[in-house]
């Protein structure tokens, strides 16, 4: 299969670090022009930008929980890149809020922040990108979900719910946008070796997490990014509506 994105324009949210940064690098290496999104860490976004091969890549900023900022972000990417072929909804937050230990105000605040960022932010970006893609005659939307949508996230139920919603949204949009030649897929990683997972992967808890997979490790960001690149490349159209597990057999469904 040819994983070539020559001439494609891609917006990757949450691309200042972690999985998003590696997705941006793989897309650029495959020939795409990339819009690197960040929320608050401009310096990290510039590090990502400077790591990309070739020229023509840009940085865009938005708080994903703000509908107006998301709209402006997509518009800036479309205008500066002179088009948009691929949207990767990767930006997300994970914050613990176990029901039996947090107060009611904290419970509500965590749910609002996580759902607004992880799910509504992705929904709004998808809307804005898809409206442009319909006009241009096609495109791709790839959503970075989580195995937590199926396995459950007892310490952060809002995170699990946000990712379950993202998977369902992917399937709904795949049906609605298929006639417009817009293909929508999702990936559902398990633990990945990133800054977000660093604390969880230390000490005994890290050993337990690695033991969940018969490979006795967690994923490298490159492995998740490779799957996203596969879904963005020509030839993967028939996977539209699919949610691809990328968890090293740590959770089977």
Angle between the 18-29 and 42-51 helix axes, to the nearest 10 degrees?
Answer: 30
Q: How far apart are CA 151 and CA 210, in angstroms?
A: 16
Q: How far apart are CA 173 and CA 167, in angstroms?
A: 10
CA distances from 82 to 10, 55, 74, 79, 158 (A): 11, 14, 12, 5, 36
Can you name the residues that pair with 86 across neighbouring β-strands? 10, 140
CB atoms inside a 10 Å sphere around CB 2: 9
Q: Under 8 Å CB-to-CB from 138, ≥6 apart: which residues?
A: 85, 180, 181, 182
User: Which entry of 150, 159, 183, 251 is annotated as an active-site residue?
Assistant: 159
Note if 159 is an active site residue: yes
Long-range pairs for 171-176: beta carbons < 8 A, 24 or more residues apart: 171/241, 171/243, 173/126, 173/130, 173/141, 174/240, 174/241, 175/241
- Asked whether the CA dihedral 172, 173, 178, 184 is positive or negative, the reply is negative
By CB neighbour count within 10 A (0-12 exposed, 13-18 middle, 19+ buried), where does 137 fall?
exposed
* Residues annotated catalytic, as ranges: 159
């Amino acid at each position: 299969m040819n994983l070539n994105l020559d001439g494609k324009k891609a917006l990757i949210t949450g691309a200042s670090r972690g999985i998003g940064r590696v997705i941006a690098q793989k897309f650029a290496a495959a020939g795409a022009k990339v819009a690197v999104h960040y929320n608050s860490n401009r310096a990290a976004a510039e590090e990502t930008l400077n790591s990309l091969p070739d020229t023509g890549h840009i940085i865009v900023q938005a708080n994903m929980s703000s509908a107006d900022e998301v709209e402006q972000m997509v518009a800036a990417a479309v205008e500066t890149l002179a088009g948009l072929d691929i949207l990767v909804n990767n930006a997300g937050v994970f914050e613990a809020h176990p029901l039996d230990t947090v107060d009611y105000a904290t419970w509500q605040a965590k749910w609002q922040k996580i759902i607004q960022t992880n799910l509504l932010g992705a929904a709004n970006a998808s809307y804005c990108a898809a409206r442009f893609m319909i006009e241009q005659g096609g495109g791709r939307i790839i959503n970075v979900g989580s195995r937590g949508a199926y396995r459950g996230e007892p310490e952060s139920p809002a995170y699990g719910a946000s990712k379950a919603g993202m998977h369902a949204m992917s399937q709904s949009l795949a049906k609605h946008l298929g006639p417009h030649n817009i293909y929508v897929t999702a990936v559902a990683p398990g633990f990945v070796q990133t800054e977000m997972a660093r604390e969880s992967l230390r000490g005994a808890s890290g050993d337990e997490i690695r033991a969940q997979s018969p490979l006795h490790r967690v994923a490298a960001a490159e492995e998740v990014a490779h799957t996203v690149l596969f879904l963005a490349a020509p030839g993967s159209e028939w996977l539209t509506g699919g949610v691809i597990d990328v968890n090293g057999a740590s959770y089977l469904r």
